[in-house]
Each structure stands twice: as structure tokens, then as C-alpha cells.
Amino acid sequence: MFLSKIIFRNAVAGVLLGTAAHAGIPTQQEMRCPVGGETFSIVGTASCSTMGRSMSFRPRSSCEFVTALPVCPSNGLPVYRGFTAEEITELELFMQTDTYEALRNQSDWQRAYGVATHLGEAGSATTFGIMLNAFWRDPMGVAGSEFMMAQLEAELGQELERATDEDRPFLHAIFAYALAVADRPAASAEQLVKAEAGDVPDVLRAYIDAIRACQPKMDTRECGPDAPFDPF
């Protein structure tokens, strides 16, 4: 699923240089909701090619149509990963509470974060992945919410402790861009300083420069979260 380990430096050269694009082929896939047993369809793909990254550093591909986060239609459970039998039992109880009912009014990604937190995953690679994907998939929604930005920052802090020395600067740069979208230029500038400490790969230097160039004009199309980032 979407929460495979995110390695920025090791994958970034091939991803940003791009590969020959093969059009994605959508496929219908059946899923069974872990709670309640409801079956529903999600969109998968039989083919997909990466085509660089966006200004938010989200990987761009020829299969943008793929269901990024399966959600059970009736009860709203985000199936962000497989659950154990014990976790399913716990979720059956949790989904009967007012806390879960309140989460039903939140975005799918925010609900996934709430479920993961309830299962004791706060501060893990899983919850960082959820919040990063929340920003990638709904950048304006996350950047426009102080609460969600605080969650992203808290999860980033934990991820920075786990990250390799090579990946850490990319994390700072991505958060710098998120802060720029959230109209927090001073905080964004601080993250960029951290991103460029030490040896800076050419791709990261290009990304930092692109963010700095965009800070005064974040409302323009070329600086938007989904705009393509061309490092060369």
C-alpha cells in the first residue's frame, strides 16, 4: 500500500530525471472492509511510470487515478494498511464511539491519522506517511489547518530522528515548502537553512532554490503544490 518506506536520496535521482512514460492502465479491484465485511471497488493499475516530482515533492506518475487510500463506503474506515485480528476487534469497538463519529466529519486522511493514533501508532513511520500523503493529496486543506500542520510537524520531528543523514535534508525541504504554502515564510526559511546544512546534492540544491524563488509568489501556477518540479 502507499506507506512503503519513503527514501528520498536513494530514489530521487532516477525519479527526478524521469523515465519513458507508459500510460497507466486502470483496473477495478475488489476489497473487503476489515470491519463489517462490506465489499467495494477501488481503482488499481496494470501499468505505471514515474515522471518526476511536483513542487510539493510528491512523486508524479502516469497513474494518478489509482485509489491512494481505500475507504470503506458505509462506515468510513480508511484501510491504510492490513489490520491484525486483534486490531479489527479494537476497531469494531472504537468505531462505535463518539470519537470515531467525530472523525467521520474529517477528511479521509485525517480520519486515517485518528485511527492510527488510536491503535498506538503516533510518532511512527506509518503516521508520518499518513500526514505526508495528506499534504501531498490535499495540500491546501492541510496547509490551511493549523491543527493538521501541527500534526505534520510533530510527525516530522519523529521521522527526522529515524531518517538517514542523506534523507534528513530532503525532509526539511519538503516541510519548508509546506510552510510556504501555509503562508509561514519565516518558518519556511528556517527549514531551508536546515536543509542546506552540510553537503547538498544537486537535486536538493535545485529544490531549495525553487522553493526560495517561489516564496514571494506562492499563489502562481508554477509554484503550486501540483506544479512540476524540474531540477535541471
What secondary structure letter does DSSP report for 15?
H
In a domain, 202, yes or no: yes
**pTM listed for this prediction:** 0.88
Domain assignment of residue 78, given as a range: 8-229
In a domain, 3, yes or no: no
In a domain, 52, yes or no: yes
Cα(4)–Cα(46) distance, integer angstroms: 19
In a domain, 1, yes or no: no
Q: Is the dihedral of CA 95, 101, 102, 106 positive or negative?
A: positive
The count of domains in the chain is 1
Residue 123 amino acid letter: G
In a domain, 170, yes or no: yes
Asked if 130 contacts 116 with a C-beta cutoff of 8 angstroms, the reply is yes
The three cell numbers locating residue 205: 540544491
Q: What is the pLDDT along the chain (232 residues), one digit of tens a residue?
A: 333 344 444 333 333 333 444 567 888 999 999 999 999 999 988 888 878 899 999 998 888 888 899 999 999 999 999 999 999 999 999 999 999 999 999 999 999 999 999 999 999 999 999 999 999 999 999 999 999 999 999 999 999 999 999 999 999 999 999 999 999 999 999 999 999 998 899 999 999 999 999 999 999 999 999 999 988 6
- Helices and strands in the chain, H and E counts: 10, 5
